[in-house]
Amino acid sequence: MTTAAVYFLLPEILVIATAVTIYVAGAFFHTQWGWGWLALLGTAAAAAVLALQSGRSPAPVGLLYSDGLVAFTRWLALNLAGLLVLLNFRPSADGGAPETLGSLLLTVAGTMLVASSQDLVMMFVSLELISIPTYVLLYLGRRDALNQEAAAKYFYLSVLASAIFLYGLSFLYGVGRSTNLEAIAAALSALEQTSPAFVSFAKLALVLIVAGLAFRLAAVPFHFYAPDVYQGTTHANAALLSVIPKAAALVALLRLGWWAMPGMENFAWKLVLILSLLTMTLGNVTALWQDHLRRLMAYSSIAHAGYLLIGVAVALAGRNASPAVFDGWTAVFFYLCVYALATIGTFAVWHYLGGTRSVEGLDELAGLGKIRPTAAALLALFLFSLTGIPPLAGFWGKLQIFAAAMNAGGGPGGGETGLWFTVLAVIGVLNAAIAAAYYLRIVGVMYFRIPLGAPRTEGDRGALLAAVACAALLVAFSVLPGPLVRASSQAQPHVGQVANLSHDADAP
């Protein structure tokens, strides 16, 4: 490793070093407090280094990318890390604070590395860097049968998903004859001419990769774990599960499907589009019947994975057409940001309300508008944003997503593709209306019903701070969405680079 590479990876190194420090020190100092400060410090240091780097863009080093996608993912991951650390600031009654925070930081480092991996093996390892700490987190959260079931379920299914993903990567390796993404891209773009018989293997690889990542996205039909796992774990863990693996999976999907597998787009967008249709419809419709808060949010997160996949489908379909506007990338990442803020905020409010006894059922929120007006107002803000009511940031996300779909539907692509995307947009907006029903139900319970029982005890200040931070950011992005739109639009890597490299590869 050269100095340049170390400097480039310094943010990730700092995050991992902080995690390791917390793990090790946790074994010696038997205190439950103060670890949150350390974690925040590590995150802030990583962010500072990232800010220093952002001035000049370092050239790709070794097995790493350093394009817009990497920069965006790193910033997103670090910001999410800050919010999630705040959410986990107060140790749970069972202890385990250092382990919780260390594992959390490792998942964040994994997400940051997924974006910059230029190698199949490194990408797989980065994704595992997210999965394995998550198993630990799930075990740490609570100590009851439901939690054990959730952790075991997540563990086995996640391992299975990783295996499927790896199987897909092995096919990709077979077709591309390299583990380097650039080499694979070059090989695939030449595939039609050199060995057309291999095209079906590339498609098989794509299907397996999408399946493996769909588990992390909680997309149908790999969503079955989500409701049980969310229900069985804590609010803080559910917040992490609904954001971090999704972000990493989206980045990996776009990196592999869009960047590294040229020529597969026409197959890929259809696959993603169908997944998207199924995911959002199933998530939204099933959420209507849920009474358990985290279970409801699990279905909500499934539904939002569906909306995100709309953007991915548009991005894939537009890879060659390269539409002048609404390329899908902006939509995906803008939506991801506002979804993450609203979801983390929702769980943070519940975590805050929990105090000593966790809020579980919908009925426990009855009359919250009267007894806890601030918490109720924050929660209502997050839920309306998830619904996508203007002028909240969720609306701008929906605007981007559906505008992208409509543009793919009637834009230069046209034809049969167009019809598909128009149908997707129509079903998408109808889904948004269905989703309103269950979000509103929560708001209705909070404001339209009389309180049951005594007011809840004062909860965790850190969680409240996280909720307020999410709300402040959401309101800021609601009033001025421009900066975030611009930032998201810069996440798209430039396709010209792949083409040049492929020529280079063909030359010898």
Where along the sequence are the contacts to another protein (CB under 8 A)?
324-325, 369-370, 384, 389-391, 395, 399, 402-403, 406-407, 409-415, 418-419, 422, 425-426, 429-430, 432-433, 436-437, 440-441, 443-444, 447-449, 481-483, 485-486, 489-490
Q: Least CB distance from residue 461 to another protein, whole Å?
A: 24
Q: Least CB distance from residue 330 to another protein, whole Å?
A: 8
Task: Tell me which residue of 9, 8, 116 sits closest to 57, measured CA to CA.
Answer: 8
Q: Which amino acid is at 476?
A: A
Q: How far is CA 200 from its chain centroid? A: 29
Nearer to another protein, 204 or 427 (CB): 427
Q: Least CB distance from residue 430 to another protein, whole Å?
A: 7
Under 8 Å between Cβ of 387 and 284: no
Q: Least CB distance from residue 390 to another protein, whole Å?
A: 4
Q: Least CB distance from residue 391 to another protein, whole Å?
A: 5
Angle between helices 415-448 and 373-387 (to 10 degrees): 160
Nearer to another protein, 165 or 307 (CB): 307
Q: How many angstroms separate the first and last alpha carbons of the chain? A: 27
Task: Tell me which residue of 209, 224, 37 sits closest to 124, measured CA to CA.
Answer: 209
Nearer to another protein, 486 or 503 (CB): 486
Task: Tell me which residue of 343, 341, 337, 372 sits closest to 472, measured CA to CA.
Answer: 341
Nearer to another protein, 214 or 432 (CB): 432
d(CA 444, CA 376): 11
Nearer to another protein, 203 or 370 (CB): 370
Q: Collect all residues with Cβ–Cβ distance below 8 Å to 60 and sequence separation of at least 6.
A: 66, 118
Q: Least CB distance from residue 419 to another protein, whole Å?
A: 4
d(CA 206, CA 312): 14
Task: Tell me which residue of 306, 281, 270, 276 sits closest to 413, measured CA to CA.
Answer: 270
Nearer to another protein, 382 or 402 (CB): 402
Residue 451 phi, psi (nearest 5):
-65, 140
Burial letters 245-274, b for 16+ CB under 10 A, else e: bbbbbbbbbbbbbbbbbbbbbebbbebbbe
d(CA 384, CA 397): 13
Nearer to another protein, 174 or 391 (CB): 391
Q: Least CB distance from residue 415 to another protein, whole Å?
A: 8
CA distances from 350 to 87, 231, 375, 467, 491 (A): 11, 13, 9, 9, 32
Nearer to another protein, 163 or 419 (CB): 419
Q: Least CB distance from residue 331 to another protein, whole Å?
A: 11
Q: Least CB distance from residue 252 to another protein, whole Å?
A: 25
d(CA 8, CA 26): 29
Nearer to another protein, 185 or 432 (CB): 432
